[in-house]
Structure 1
């Protein structure tokens, strides 16, 4: 193996001269999904780096370009030291961009002012520097969130949400694009695909935000779009789920048209439906379900092959009385079995040692036990940890222990 990725891991293949060649472009690599690649036999070891509200990076808005870059490289270097092999970087946090997008303004989290040029290209730098370290770079986009407030006048004057006032819905103190409008669905895809065209990213990544999480006493005001586009559906819930299905299936097809080697992964809330509501559901009780509350039929996306891998957020401890980690681990393993869709487990590192979390999360061994359980399920191809700030802080040493127990050496990314 003569790529820079191979050199970063100290791997020299038969016939190599020992000198690392340039990492080939994604166009030159065979990134087609095979059972071995989908299962992630090399082991996916990822970390989320959230930029919304400056959660993980940059540490605050308004840092100089040099300081922002230094902080970003520190996260990448830390991932290497912790023997991870993938970084999932949030590059479209609130309908704005961490690259020079022709569709949307520069992200507010960079300079403190939405639309202000930060003086460098964060996504371009992240891709180049991640690859130089043998890390995959997954570009994390939020399709519909526009702002963590409801005042369009606070958006930059050229923002598409201001130019198309009918596209947005205020709900729960935030502003969202309306998923029921075909023109919105096309626009958000175009905005995200711009980054796919420009950069050698390894994957497109979405999290759990489709229709927003329900807020007590409020209704999502999509009456007008339902009246225009909801004909033929048995109810509004079925229409909303179809809207989300279209977003996923269309984006899947378009990614493959633009850059066939780029993977498409989604990280949903960990419960699809519970057994009490559906015989195909998990043996969990109460709480939310993606199918019923976020109008996201995550199980269908796997069965249809619209995504290359799924990263369910199993953010509960082993033995949780309503949503047990082991129960959900087995359910998701069953769902992906035989589909060719990879399964990486989203882990709640942010809960480890955190004040207010139950006693199970105060035990430094809880996270390591998760990885041990998953190791016994052949369908599980790896894990992704939320999030970068907690990788750095490691409040109770849980992450260091998990690394020591399960990551004795670095391994190549599953698709390198």
Structure 2
């Protein structure tokens, strides 16, 4: 598809945007970017995909700041930061050793600082959410030996919980002690850190040949089929993680990004019209059950295929996942295959517009609330200019992350007091809201002139800031010192609900 076509598509989409409005985004006059849309980047630490090992605190902090600043500039609003790659941690934990991926040294080596806290603080300073990404069952990567693990690794403490599969080691999901340990690890994470969500990826049981016959014999109970028992083990973990998260902090989300195919229609009439590997059968993950039973707040199927691939077509899967989530209290995001751009046997990925147009398809679908991009290094690499297209033609304005109103539907009140003061070539907006406790974030809108304009238009959003004990400040550095501005500030609740009213203030030239 050529550039002229996409511009025509934009024009048509804009025309429809001017005519039709949605409850959540309102009228978006003059823009085609929605006001509310998940735009996340995975930051992969396993095997140091996105993280350079061995940085000291200063170097790591500098990297975190430059990374978040660049993603904010590109109008992303969320990072999904991998904090537990393989029975380890990128934060001080009483339940897991330090990850070797932060130091580049033996597992358990203390880097002397807290990578998660630095990344979390930096994300929030830039108004971005941080979703703490964990991999629950994986103990090692390929060809890594157990004697390479730290002495306080759960696999070292409980070798009877470990199963070798191929060249890797995993915790056995069927052992009750494993489930309890994994739940405790999440509880520690949510208790200690102000994360916005806990995120699990697509690795569950590693395959049908997993050597757990003895565990099945001991704990299988009334299950006649080992596959059903395995799926139930995963379901119980997912459900119990969510329950425990909500018991600690009801607003913290729980999301999972399974592989893109639940089941194929040839194996199940409820499945998608595809012919690829299905996680229900191969990984014993029943994502449909999680949706229908309300175990998770969002699901991000990794639909890592093009719109031309017959066995697993992007468009087919987009429609299938949309139909599965419709009517349930869950946000649907799509996992985007940035890593495949100009690097795959499927020549559709040689077109720099393949991925950008997939995002447009997500929007046109009307049920998808955004996307997550895999992975950071590919976004920054910008092969064949695809990321420039996303930045300049798709993510042209800032956007707010979708709410999870089912975790708390109350609309917050507008801020109590907002002031704006010119400071040289910038304007500082100060928010005093100390008498209220319903604020998680604030949205800063800027309008030219002496009165407020359209709050539904994301072009008017200049920033998002997190509340700090009833106060927040925002520095607007993109101003024309010869112009007069009016600022409006709304409140975002802990579950992402925005106040209908704004507190306004004016700054004169």
TM-score, normalising length: structure 1: 0.87
* Cα deviations by residue, 1:335-384 (Å, 9 ceiling, x for unpaired): 01010210011000000122x43211011010111011111112100010
- Equivalent of 1:197 in 184, 191, 199: 191
Aligned pairs for 1:8-407 within 5 A: 42-57=36-51, 59=52, 61-112=53-104, 113-148=106-141, 149=143, 151-213=145-207, 219-285=209-275, 287-354=276-343, 356-407=344-395
* Structure 2 residue matching 1:367: 3-state secondary structure: helix
Structure 1 residue 126: Cα displacement: 1.2
* Structure 1 residue matching 2:132: 3-state secondary structure: strand
The structure where helix makes up a greater share of residues is: 1
**Range moving further from structure 2, 382-391 or 113-122:** 113-122
Identify unmatched segments of 5+ residues in structure 1: 1-34
Q: Distance in 2 between matches of 1:85 and 1:224?
A: 46
* Structure 2 residue matching 1:46: 3-state secondary structure: strand
Query: Would the aligned equivalents of 2:38 and 2:78 in 1 still touch at CA under 8 Å?
Result: yes
* Cα deviations by residue, 1:139-164 (Å, 9 ceiling, x for unpaired): 00001001113521110122221111
Moved over 2 A (4+): 412-416
Q: Distance in 2 between matches of 1:181 and 1:150?
A: 23
The structure where strand makes up a greater share of residues is: 2
* Structure 2 residue matching 1:397: 3-state secondary structure: helix
Structure 1 residue 284: Cα displacement: 0.5
More relative contact order, 1 or 2 (CA 8 Å, 6+ apart):
1
Query: Would the aligned equivalents of 1:41 and 1:381 in 2 still touch at CA under 8 Å?
Result: no
Q: Distance in 2 between matches of 1:410 and 1:205?
A: 23
Structure 1 residue 82: Cα displacement: 1.1
Query: Would the aligned equivalents of 1:134 and 1:412 in 2 still touch at CA under 8 Å?
Result: no
User: Which structure has the larger Rg over C-alpha atoms?
Assistant: 2
Shift of the 357–404 alpha-carbon distance from structure 1 to 2, 3 Å rule, reads farther
How many residue pairs match? The answer is 372
Query: Would the aligned equivalents of 2:24 and 2:36 in 1 still touch at CA under 8 Å?
Result: no
Identify unmatched segments of 5+ residues in structure 2: 1-22, 26-33, 404-495, 497-509
TM-score, normalising length: structure 2: 0.71
Query: Would the aligned equivalents of 1:244 and 1:295 in 2 still touch at CA under 8 Å?
Result: yes
* Cα deviations by residue, 1:45-74 (Å, 9 ceiling, x for unpaired): 0000000010111x2x22222222222222
C-alpha RMSD over aligned residues: 1.5
